[in-house]
Amino acid sequence: MVTVTVAIAAWNSSTTIAECIRSALDQIDVTSQVLVVDDGSFDNTVEIAEKCGARVIRLSDNGGPGRARNVALDTASTDWLAVLDSDDQMEPWRLRDMLKIAQEHDADVVLGNLSRVDEDGRPIDGLPFVNGPDYEEPIPLDLDTYIVRNHDPHRRGALGYLKPLLRVDFCNKNGIRYPTETYNGEDYHLMLSCLAADARVIFSPAPDYIYTSRRGSISHRVDPSHIEPLIQADRAFVAQHASRLSNLARKVFADRQVMLDRTRYTEIVLQSLKRGDLRAAVSALAQRPSAIGMIGAKFLEAGSKRLLSKGCANRRTPRPSGEFTITQRGGGSLLKGSSGGGTHSSSTSTERDDSGTSAPR
């Protein structure tokens, strides 16, 4: 029976880590070695993880999801490593089926589809996140295809959200590790590195990764300073691999740069307003007037969800007056992190976002 390391980066995840670990240990026809890398938690995540039977590596400070996952890659002694967020779960057959696809296609990486549920485990739309006629069978992905389809204008699901099953030897031989300078979009950039190293990457259509969308407050937003490293990482990748990218892929990166920059200024404006600094908000908006549409959309989203929350007031504890509620999980409209108790302290915002595009809706 094949043994797979299941790497879980965790930060203050005490409310979700037990179910997460249990789903990893309950894999059928596969032996799971669950490795939790605690990224400086100050709750009892470590104690719960150890009681659940996981091996735990405890980091003294919070360095972000990339660093934590790199520790797991450095530690893994198995041929394969699967990535699982601390507030997500896997169906019992996920690893078995991904390994089968890897064997059939001689793959270095398998990207498995996901399904979205709410905090109570109820399906959000009942559909695979990545769907459509192009995604009904396992398909190979090259660098250009991955970049372009990750930014599919028809929003059939950005590939950058998908969690990989990695051949550890391939990563080690090619020096492939997660970026540590970014707190968002780390899965997307890992896959760019794999594909640039000519990894054989296969998409698996089965939605067997259970992705939990959580609600939170507008007061918990991404740090605008975390967006600039994403912009720089994109620029560095394009500069290094420009000769391998099609005109369309280069345009996708250019459009993404514009949107990341716009998102950064949107966050500056919203956070300035949050702390009552109207002058700073006006100054930021004056620098990027193109952000006005995104800012308006954020307020409309927050307001509509506040109205929905009021509609359920008789069945739930009322929220404090003046609080907007918006879907959260840790990333930002162009970013990603995690949460649950959260995967990482520096990556919370309106939505978690692995892909570097907009978060799952």
Q: Please write the tens of the pLDDT for every residue from 250-280.
A: 999 999 999 999 988 999 999 899 899 999 9
Domain with CATH 3.90.550.10 in the chain: 3-214
- pLDDT reported for residue 242: 92
Cα–Cα distance, 64 to 87 (Å, whole number): 16
- Residues 6 or more apart whose CB falls under 8 angstroms from that of 346 comprise 62, 64, 183, 223, 226, 337
d(CA 343, CA 162): 16
Query: Residue 80's beta-bridge partner residues?
Result: 4, 167
**Which residues fall within 8 angstroms of residue 342, CB to CB, at 6 or more apart?**
11, 12, 13, 87, 330, 348
**Side-chain half-sphere CA neighbours of 131 within 13 A:** 10
Digit-coded pLDDT (tens) for 183-229? 788 999 999 999 999 999 999 999 999 999 876 434 345 678 888 98
Entry field: residues in the chain: 361
Please give the pLDDT value at position 50: 98
Task: Decide: 291 and 262 in contact? Cβ < 8 Å.
Answer: yes
Residue 60, pLDDT score: 92
Class of domain 3-214: alpha beta
**Which regions in the chain score pLDDT beneath 70?**
152-156, 215-222, 302-361
Distance, CA of 158 to CA of 41 (rounded, Å): 30
pLDDT for the residue 221: 57
DSSP code, position 77: -
> What is residue 254's predicted lDDT score, i.e. its pLDDT?
94
Beta carbons within 10 angstroms of residue 211's beta carbon: 23
Alpha-carbon distance of 241 to 253, in angstroms, equals 12
- Give the per-residue pLDDT at 310: 60
